[in-house]
Amino acid sequence: MSLTMPQKMGSLLVPLFILLISLFASAYVLELPELAISVLPLLPYILAFVMVFLAWHFNRGKVLLAGGLLLLPVMFPYVTTSSIPSSATLITAIGFGLLLMLKERGFFNRYAFNRMLFLIMLVAWSVFYERGWVNFTFLNMHLPWLGLSFSTLISWLVVLTTIVASTITWWRHADGFSAAVLVSLVTLLLIELMTFTTQQESSLRSAQMLIWIWFVVAESHRMAYRDELTQLPGRRALNEALVALPKRYAVAMLDIDHFKKFNDSYGHDKGDEVLKLVARVLQQESGPASVYRYGGEEFTVLFKGRVLEQAQTILENLREHIHLQQLNVTVGDKEKMVSVTASIGIATAEEGELPEDVIKRADVALYKAKKKGRNCIVMN
């Protein structure tokens, strides 16, 4: 599905806000009471514990690893040298780069163990290298035209590659994970490149943990309210929207024609493709109307306030665009293109009528559209 600019910025807005607030707070951190200043260095660990608890509760193994990566510069200070970026930042960048590519596999299983073991190996390699237990002469080679060593150049390339990768992933998918990775790495570089007191640094590291706590909470909310297959808001989101409706609204029920027959003929995988295809059309062509997956092959389009005047035009546009869609299917040894159609029933709310009753009337109109020959709109 194509994503709008508000959707893209929405996933990045909260992490950036948390970072900016922490930068602002760090400027006045010394004005806090003495007790608060003494406790502040412990705050990243406290928030890390909350982050790990939420990761365990929602079975998010990648969040557990992200927390460990962010604590590396604090928990393993001997890994960090005077070079910029430090070894801890390099390991964090490598780790985040891998997490961007890997799928979520849960909390307590062999996948999480293997990934954690790999990161521990990276930390061990850094410790051995910086303490001189292992030595690679070519890494110490100085590059006079750049004014830095070959190892520093590689470190910067790795860090910048991860930042670029997270930026591209965020831009394409607008997902919270890549946004959290991007802002976390930017925060990490700010800590290295700028001079902060211990309390100010603790404020920024606490912000990193807060970003990931926000991600877990936001992701769990998204999973609860959004349909996983179509990525449209689901039935629960619709029920909440029905609670806060204005006086003027209309409900349209849209059903994919012959969907059961399509599933039986071409398989459930192709049926899923049809659902995603229709969902994409609904999201792209519904304009100011709100779209939900009601269940099965049925979708709901909600028109509120002034949008009500455009309902007929929007629904006709949706019906036409769905009809224009074609799907490649295999019949025996041959491939062919099949079209998709949808029937739509719409009901406008009457004064004092309950939303549930409006939906029932829209369903009756949908049934009439089916009886009328499908691929049409009936108002009730």
Q: Given this model, what pLDDT does residue 123 score? A: 80
129 and 242 part of one domain: no
- Where in the sequence is the domain holding 71, given as residue range(s)? 5-225
Q: Given this model, what pLDDT does residue 199 score? A: 87
Residue after which a domain boundary falls, among 225, 246, 275: 225
pLDDT score of 168 more than 90? yes
pLDDT score of 102 more than 80? yes
Question: How far apart, in whole angstroms, are the C-alpha atoms of residue 151 and residue 211?
Answer: 30
Per residue in 65-90, pLDDT tens?
A: 898 888 887 766 544 455 677 778 88
Q: Given this model, what pLDDT does residue 171 score? A: 87
167 and 276 part of one domain: no
172 assigned to some structural domain: yes
Q: Given this model, what pLDDT does residue 334 score? A: 79
**CA contacts within 13 A on the Cβ side of 138:** 1
Question: Would you give the distance in Å from CA 337 to the centre of its chain?
Answer: 33
pTM of the model: 0.76
Q: Given this model, what pLDDT does residue 4 score? A: 58
Q: Given this model, what pLDDT does residue 5 score? A: 63
217 and 154 part of one domain: yes
Question: Would you give the distance in Å from CA 176 to the centre of its chain?
Answer: 4
Rounded average pLDDT over 273-297? 92
Q: Given this model, what pLDDT does residue 83 score? A: 64
Q: Given this model, what pLDDT does residue 88 score? A: 81
73 and 193 part of one domain: yes
Q: Given this model, what pLDDT does residue 80 score? A: 46
343 assigned to some structural domain: yes
Reported confidence tier of residue 1, pLDDT bands at 50, 70, 90: very low
272 assigned to some structural domain: yes
Q: Given this model, what pLDDT does residue 79 score? A: 47
Rounded average pLDDT over 41-66? 90
Rounded average pLDDT over 91-120? 85
319 and 175 part of one domain: no
Question: How far apart, in whole angstroms, are the C-alpha atoms of residue 289 and residue 107?
Answer: 39
**Which residues are CB-contacts of 178 (< 8 A; sequence separation ≥ 6)?**
100, 166, 167, 169, 170
Least confident of 2-6, 169-173, 249-253: 2-6
Encoded tokens for 122: 């990276």
**What residues does 255 pair with on adjacent strands?**
298, 343
320 assigned to some structural domain: yes
83 and 197 part of one domain: yes
230 assigned to some structural domain: no
pLDDT score of 281 more than 60? yes
240 and 215 part of one domain: no
Residue after which a domain boundary falls, among 225, 247, 262: 225
316 assigned to some structural domain: yes
Rounded average pLDDT over 148-161? 83
11 and 112 part of one domain: yes
Reported confidence tier of residue 7, pLDDT bands at 50, 70, 90: low
195 and 54 part of one domain: yes
| Domain count across the chain | 2
Q: What are phi and psi of 254, to 5 degrees?
A: -115, 130
Per residue in 301-321, pLDDT tens?
A: 999 988 888 899 999 999 999
Question: How far apart, in whole angstroms, are the C-alpha atoms of residue 103 and residue 58?
Answer: 15
Q: Given this model, what pLDDT does residue 136 score? A: 63
Residue after which a domain boundary falls, among 225, 257, 285: 225
Question: How far apart, in whole angstroms, are the C-alpha atoms of residue 96 and residue 68?
Answer: 11
pLDDT score of 359 more than 90? yes
160 and 206 part of one domain: yes
294 and 203 part of one domain: no
Reported confidence tier of residue 139, pLDDT bands at 50, 70, 90: low
Rounded average pLDDT over 212-227? 89
Question: CA nearest 253: which of 320, 344, 315, 322?
Answer: 344
84 assigned to some structural domain: yes
49 and 195 part of one domain: yes
Question: How far apart, in whole angstroms, are the C-alpha atoms of residue 137 and residue 124?
Answer: 19
Question: CA nearest 182: which of 168, 194, 172?
Answer: 168
C-beta atoms surrounding 276 within 10 Å: 15
Rounded average pLDDT over 147-168? 86
Burial class (CB in 10 A: 0-12, 13-18, 19+), 67: buried
CATH number of the domain enclosing 356:
3.30.70.270
207 assigned to some structural domain: yes
Q: Given this model, what pLDDT does residue 166 score? A: 92
Per residue in 169-204, pLDDT tens?
A: 988 888 889 999 999 999 988 988 888 888 888 999
